[in-house]
Each structure stands twice: as structure tokens, then as C-alpha cells.
């Protein structure tokens, strides 16, 4: 073993670099963590206040029953999709540039679901009875209502959270074993328990690869169905502006879009905080930006086709709602959304922008703002412009709602940063694979082929 290490210094360096991220991040790491923690505390205070006083303090009112809690829920569920995209879809399509960044994307998936799952709890009127949505044997002699999209949501979220957590964990096992070999103290105990006695035997690798690819095949359709179900919360209703058949694909595209933007944000953040400059290269950023651009175009197409199908339909209420979106009280939100999510991504057409970390950081934040507003303009304007003229009043989220929204960002970032501090956020074994393949298919390709052929002949001789 030692012989091998000496020969290939780069491989050992991968381990060292990634393991260093568990030890000494920049000072800014602690500052960001502290800010996030403070936000979470503010949000907790707001939630306690709302819980004691009643949901009215959030300034939702009687025709305006839903607001930012629902749009946040959709936003965070959406964000979780790109992690699956990056790790599962790109795994199946064998795009090897994903390897240094897929681990944190997977972690992002899991933590954004963890954030999204909080919002129904905050939103609901009697949270202490929330378990009634689950079909468990009970003395009420009543099942939940299987026709309700909210019930499908409950199933979808629990399934997606469980499988994405498993996917993240399974993919991490070989790396946890490396950590186990290097760590001391409490970390040693943690990694020993979590690496499940991984030895790196060939049989283990075969079983591991099979499981991992199978999980990926399971996760891709699951992710699509999860956001389609979230979309059906709206599409199944009869509100003008929500009752849109194209919502499921539109939501999935929007989810991938905002998620890709989030990957870019965290890419830049991690690269800086944990000194991953050698791994998260501008080349990978370029590819991620191209992917984001493609998804942005798909989303824009679906958005326009939604407007077009409303415009060319002859539904009076839908028409009125669409016009009200662009000219009514929420027009500012809609136009900002269109600027951030439709115009800003065109900046990524230039390669200079695509490889510039800080430019991409700003663009990704703008896209995320746009996509958050997109969720807001799905939920709120139809409630202020629906069938019943009596209810047509604009309602803006109050301080409580905005504090909890900000806290959700703090909560997500806090969990994510803690994860990156405790677990390797760059996949060591996959990066090694990548390095190996690149060497192999590079200049030395022909020699290697000769060598492999020789090896094979030798093995066959040995077998016979």
C-alpha cells in the first residue's frame, strides 16, 4: 500500500485536501454560521409568538388563507431537485464533471427537504393534530382523505426525504471509511459506526456500485413525481391562476432551475470557505452554468406557454387574473420575477461570466430571488383576484412571515455548513476515479491499452 501512495502523490493529496476541510475552514465560516444561527433564533421567536397568538399575526386573512409559508414550502422542495439531478441523472448519463460537486448537491437536497418539511408545521392551524394526515390505525375510525393533494404531499415528502437521505449516506460510505482511518476522538467513533465496516474489498465495491446506480434509477422518477404532486396542490384546485394543467412540468422545470442556481451559490461559498479551489474549478462552474442556462430556457418556455394557454383560453376569470398579475397590486413582484429569472440568465451566454466565480455568485442569487418571487406570485395574486369580487384585496406578508422566511434560509445554510464541517463535502473516491480516468484517457492512453491487454493475457493464462 505504501508503495502505491508514494507513486501517486496526487491521490493522497485528494484525501488530505478533503479531510482538511473537516478541520480548518476560513474564519468566514464561523461568521456565516453565527449569522445563520441568529436568523434561526429570530425565526423560532416569531414562530413561538405566532403559535401562542394565532396565525392571524402573520397577517394572512380570510380570503387570503395561504401565503409565504406555502411559497416557501414549494421553493425549498424545488431546491432539493437539483441535487438529485446532479447526482442521479448525471450519474446515469456518466457526466464525470459532476464528481467533485455532487456530494454537496446531495446534501443540499436533503437539507432543503428538511427545511421544506418545517413549513407545513408552521402553516397549519392546529399543528398538534397534524399526524391525522397519516393513515394510521386509530380510534376515530376514520381514514385521511386520499383524494386530497395535501395528503399526497405528506407521502411524497416522507418518501423523498427518506430516499434522498439514504442516497446521500450510501454514496458517502467509502469516504466515511477514509475519514475513519484518519480521525481521532469522537469523530473516530462516529465514522466507525457510520462506515459500516467498509474495507474496500472488490465485492464491497461491486455491491456498492449496484446499490448506488439502482438508487439513482429510483430517485429520478421519484423527484419528478414529488414536484408534480406539489404542483397538483395548485393544479387540482379550481382557483383561476392555479387551475393550470401544465403546472407539473412547469414546477419540475422551476425546481431544477432554482436548485441549479442554489448549487452555484453553494459552489462559490464552499470553494471559498473550505479552500476547495483545486477541486471546484472554473471548468466545472462553466458546465454547471451551461446546464443552468439550458434549464432556464426550458422553464421560460413553460412559463410563456402557461401565459399563452391562459391568454388564448376563453376563461374570463383566468384572463382577469393574468392581466391582474401584470398590472395589479402584485405587478412589482411579477416584473421583478421576470427580470431575475428570464433576463438575468442570458448573462450566462458569455464564457467570461460563466468562469467568473463572483459574477456567477451574484447571478445565482438573483435567479434564486426571481424563483422565490415566482413561487410567491403563484400563491398570492390568484387569492387577490379570483371568482369572487368581494375578496379582491391584495394582502402582503407581515413581519412574522418574513422573519420565518429569512430564518428558513438561515436554518438551511446552518445545517448545510455543519454537514460540510463534519462530513467530507467533496467525494474523495469519485474524484480519484475522475483523476484516474482522465490520466488513462489522456496522453498515456495507448501505452495503457497495451498494458491492459498484457494483463488480461496474463490473467487468462493463469486461469487456464
Partner 1 sequence: MSLSRMLENWSRLNQRDYYKDEPIMWGMSIDLNKCTGCASCVTACYAENNIPAVGKEKCATGHTMHWLRIERYWDLPESEADLAVEESEYPERGAHFAPMMCQQCNHAPCEPVCPVAATYHNPDGLNAQVYNRCIGSRYCGTNCPFKVRYFNFFDYSEDIPHPMEMLLNPDLTVRSKGVMEKCTFCVQRLRNAKGDQADKGIRGHVEDGAVQTACQQSCPTEAIVFGNLKDSESKVSKAWEDHNVELNRHEQFHEEGERGYRVFEELNVEPSVMYLDRVRDTNA
Locus of grid cell 413581519: 399
Show the site string, 374-403: x = touches partner 1 by CB under 8 A, - = not. ---------x--xxxxxx-x-x--------
Q: Which of 46, 74, 113, 154 is the binder for partner 1 (CB under 8 A)?
A: 154
Contact 229, 339 (CB under 8 A): no
Q: Which is nearer to partner 1, 32 or 154 (CB)?
A: 154
* Cβ distance to partner 1 smaller for residue 251 or 267: 251
Q: Nearest 5 degrees, angle CA 228-CA 229-CA 234?
A: 95
Q: Considering CB under 8 A, how many residues would be counted as binding partner 1?
A: 52
Site for partner 1 in 403-462 (CB under 8 A): none
Site for partner 1 in 72-101 (CB under 8 A): none
| SS3 state at 453 | helix
Contact 164, 84 (CB under 8 A): yes
Minimum distance, C-beta of residue 81 to partner 1, in the bound complex (Å): 23
Pick out residues in 235-274 that bind partner 1 (CB under 8 A): 236-239
Q: Name the residue among 420, 423, 425 with its Cα closest to residue 36.
A: 420
**At closest approach, how far in Å is the CB of 130 from partner 1?**
6
Based on the shown chain and the rule CB under 8 A, indicate whether residue 149 belongs to the binding site for partner 1: yes
Contact 105, 86 (CB under 8 A): yes
Residues between 110 and 139 with contacts to partner 1, criterion CB under 8 A: 120, 123-127, 129-130, 132-133, 135, 137-138
Q: Which residues of 42-80 are buried (b: 16+ CB within 10 A; e: fewer)?
A: ebeebbeebeeeebebbbbeeebebbbbbbbbbbbbbbb
- Closest approach of partner 1 to the CB of residue 375, in Å: 15
Query: Of these, 1, 3, 94, 146, which contacts partner 1 (CB under 8 A)?
Result: 146
Per-position b or e across 228-251, b if 16+ CB within 10 A of its CB: bbbbbbbbbeebbbbbbeebbbbb
Compute the radius of gyration of the chain from its Cα atoms: 24
Q: What is the H or E stretch that residue 131 is in?
A: none
Of 244 and 270, nearer to partner 1 (C-beta) is: 244
Does 66 contact partner 1 by CB under 8 A? yes
Residues binding partner 1 (CB under 8 A): 53-56, 59-66, 120, 123-127, 129-130, 132-133, 135, 137-138, 140-151, 154, 233, 236-239, 383, 386-391, 393, 395
Amino acid at each position: 500500500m505504501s508503495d502505491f501512495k508514494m507513486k501517486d502523490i496526487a491521490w493522497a493529496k485528494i484525501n488530505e485536501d478533503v479531510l482538511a476541510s473537516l478541520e480548518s475552514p476560513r474564519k468566514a465560516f464561523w461568521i456565516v454560521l453565527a449569522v445563520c444561527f441568529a436568523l434561526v433564533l429570530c425565526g423560532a421567536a416569531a414562530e413561538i409568538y405566532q403559535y401562542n397568538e394565532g396565525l392571524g399575526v402573520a397577517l394572512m386573512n380570510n380570503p387570503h388563507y395561504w401565503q409565504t409559508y406555502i411559497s416557501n414550502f414549494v421553493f425549498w422542495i424545488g431546491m432539493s431537485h437539483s441535487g438529485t439531478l446532479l447526482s442521479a441523472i448525471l450519474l446515469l448519463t456518466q457526466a464525470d464533471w459532476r464528481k467533485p460537486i455532487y456530494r454537496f448537491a446531495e446534501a443540499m437536497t436533503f437539507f432543503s427537504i428538511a427545511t421544506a418539511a418545517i413549513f407545513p408545521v408552521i402553516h397549519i392551524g392546529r399543528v398538534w393534530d397534524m399526524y391525522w394526515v397519516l393513515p394510521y390505525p386509530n380510534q376515530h375510525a376514520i381514514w385521511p382523505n386520499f383524494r386530497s393533494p395535501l395528503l399526497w404531499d405528506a407521502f411524497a415528502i416522507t418518501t423523498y426525504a427518506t430516499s434522498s437521505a439514504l442516497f446521500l449516506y450510501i454514496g458517502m460510505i467509502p469516504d466515511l471509511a477514509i475519514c475513519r482511518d484518519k480521525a481521532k476522538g469522537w469523530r473516530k467513533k462516529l465514522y466507525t459506526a457510520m462506515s459500516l465496516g467498509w474495507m474496500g474489498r472488490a465485492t464491497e465495491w461491486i455491491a456498492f456500485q449496484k446499490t448506488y446506480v439502482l438508487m439513482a434509477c429510483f430517485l429520478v422518477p421519484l423527484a419528478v413525481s414529488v414536484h408534480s404532486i406539489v404542483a397538483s396542490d395548485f393544479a387540482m384546485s379550481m382557483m383561476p391562476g392555479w387551475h393550470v394543467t401544465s403546472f407539473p412540468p412547469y414546477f419540475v422545470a422551476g425546481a431544477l432551475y432554482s436548485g441549479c442556481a442554489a448549487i452555484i451559490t453553494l459552489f462559490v461559498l464552499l470553494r471559498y470557505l473550505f479552500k476547495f479551489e483545486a477541486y471546484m474549478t472554473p471548468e466545472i462552474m462553466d458546465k454547471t452554468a451551461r446546464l443552468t442556462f439550458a434549464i432556464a430556457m426550458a422553464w421560460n418556455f413553460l412559463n410563456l406557454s402557461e401565459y399563452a394557454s391562459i391568454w388564448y383560453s376563453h376563461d374570463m376569470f383566468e384572463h382577469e387574473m393574468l392581466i391582474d398579475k401584470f398590472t395589479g397590486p402584485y405587478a412589482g413582484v411579477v416584473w421583478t420575477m421576470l427580470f431575475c429569472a428570464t433576463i438575468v440568465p442570458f448573462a450566462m451566454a458569455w464564457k467570461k461570466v460563466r468562469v467568473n466565480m463572483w459574477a456567477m455568485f451574484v447571478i445565482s442569487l438573483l435567479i434564486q430571488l426571481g424563483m422565490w418571487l415566482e413561487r410567491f406570485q403563484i400563491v398570492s395574486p390568484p387569492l387577490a383576484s379570483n371568482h369572487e369580487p368581494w375578496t379582491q384585496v391584495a394582502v402582503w406578508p407581515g413581519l412574522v412571515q418574513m422573519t420565518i422566511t429569512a430564518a428558513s434560509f438561515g436554518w438551511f445554510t446552518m445545517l448545510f455548513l455543519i454537514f460540510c464541517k463534519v462530513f467530507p463535502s467533496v467525494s474523495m473516491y469519485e474524484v480519484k476515479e475522475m483523476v484516474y480516468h482522465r490520466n488513462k484517457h489522456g496522453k498515456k492512453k495507448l501505452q495503457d491499452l497495451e498494458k491492459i491487454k498484457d494483463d488480461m493475457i496474463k490473467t487468462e493464462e493463469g486461469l487456464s
